[in-house]
A = this chain, B = another copy of it.
């Protein structure tokens, strides 16, 4: 038996394990010092009540013969797809149930979607980047080209006609930079993809954090995107579902690539290698879209965005270049005094006990940048910001 030899080309990421080791060493050496983690990529607020109630009600239904549900052969129940379609309707995007694929999270679908693409495509990935985009393509042996996000382009790289690409990854608002594309910028990407028969894989996992209503929160708000883009969305950050697991992927019926309907291809992939999401979880996720669900979730998002605002304002006042924090829970800042990101990590930890994530861990262009997140408590975020401001 021969293994998939492409796995030998994967780099192990020691980013978070190295951070953990450094924090533990600091703790051991400074047992009395307080540490505040602004590197958290996970949510911290619990599920809202309408979701918990829906989960419990559905659990009860599953314990009664008359309301028990077995296999969900439709890759998502109609009641839930209806809720997703209604959510998109508010963005002036019309979706049929057939275009909505319910999954156990955006990471699974972003990871698995490459199954339906040939190995001989060239993949375009912005740098810095969510490592899953890169690793899943290394696993398949595809050629990857990077496009640099930088201070010069505001960490929002635009298409370069000199670069030939077949599959394009975009994430907006971005992880890790928090930068969000406007309509004109996304239109350039859509036109670029259409002009060369490329497919955009659009990661919209952070769309709920967009506060500026002029910014698009779905790529389908851009004309032509239904002919070139797949969109991934998640309840992880929207509704604190990181430990609940639910997301959805939109594959428009009008998306024809290489003469084939990608919708049909993805349906074939999912019906062969996936058996749907728990009925219980789908009911919980449906409640996210209810009136009560939406208002409670909005409160949680506002809580995180208040934290982001604290960091954003402090950096503004200090005159530190940064992106994010306005339409994203992530803040991506230039390390103080031209430091390299791991050096800055040590500096922050040692001078004020604040932990963040070195930008170098997300790619070459992140070498002099640093990621802070809004997912700690308000009290802790305020304390950390005071310490940062005093530096």
A254 → chain B, closest Cβ, in Å?
A: 15
> Which of A1, A70, A135, A198 counts the most B-chain CB atoms under 10 A from its CB?
A1
Map CB proximity to B onto A56-67 as digits: 1 under 8 Å, 0 otherwise: 100110111101
* Across-interface contacts of A45 in B (CB, < 8 A): 65, 68
Beta-carbon nearest neighbor of A274 in chain B: B108
- For chain A, the count of residues having a C-beta within 8 Å of the partner chain is 77
Report how far A132 CA is from B51 CA in the complex, Å.
34
Chain B residues with CB under 8 Å of A211's CB are: none
Bound form: Cα–Cα A49–B60 in Å: 9
Q: In the complex, what's the smallest C-beta–C-beta distance from A7 to chain B, in angstroms?
A: 6
Give the most central of A3, A42, A48, A111: most B CB within 10 Å.
Answer: A3
Distance of A245 Cα from B246 Cα, bound (Å)? 12
**Residues of the B chain whose Cβ atoms lie less than 8 Å from the Cβ of A111:** 272-274
Q: Please state if B280 and A55 are interface contacts (CB–CB under 8 Å).
A: yes
Query: Per-residue CB proximity of A160-203 to B under 8 Å, as 1/0?
Result: 00000011000000000000000000000000000001110000
CB of B52 within 8 A of CB of A258, answer no
Of the candidates B1, B70, B166, the one whose C-beta lies within 8 Å of that of A121 is B1
Q: How far is the CB of A37 from chain B (nearest CB, A)?
A: 13
- Distance, CA A51 to CA B60, complexed state (A): 10
Q: How many chain copies?
A: 2
Out of B60, B166, B260, B281, name the residue touching A278 (CB < 8 Å). B281
- 16 more contacts with CB within 8 A, not counting A1-B197, A104-B245, are A1-B121, A7-B116, A42-B71, A44-B70, A46-B64, A46-B67, A47-B63, A49-B63, A59-B59, A68-B240, A70-B242, A108-B273, A112-B273, A135-B272, A139-B272, A280-B281
Can you list 28 A-B pairs with a CB-CB distance of less than 8 A? A1-B197, A3-B116, A3-B117, A3-B257, A4-B119, A42-B70, A44-B65, A44-B68, A52-B63, A55-B55, A55-B62, A56-B56, A62-B243, A62-B244, A70-B240, A70-B242, A71-B242, A104-B245, A104-B275, A108-B273, A111-B273, A135-B272, A136-B273, A244-B280, A245-B277, A245-B278, A278-B278, A280-B280
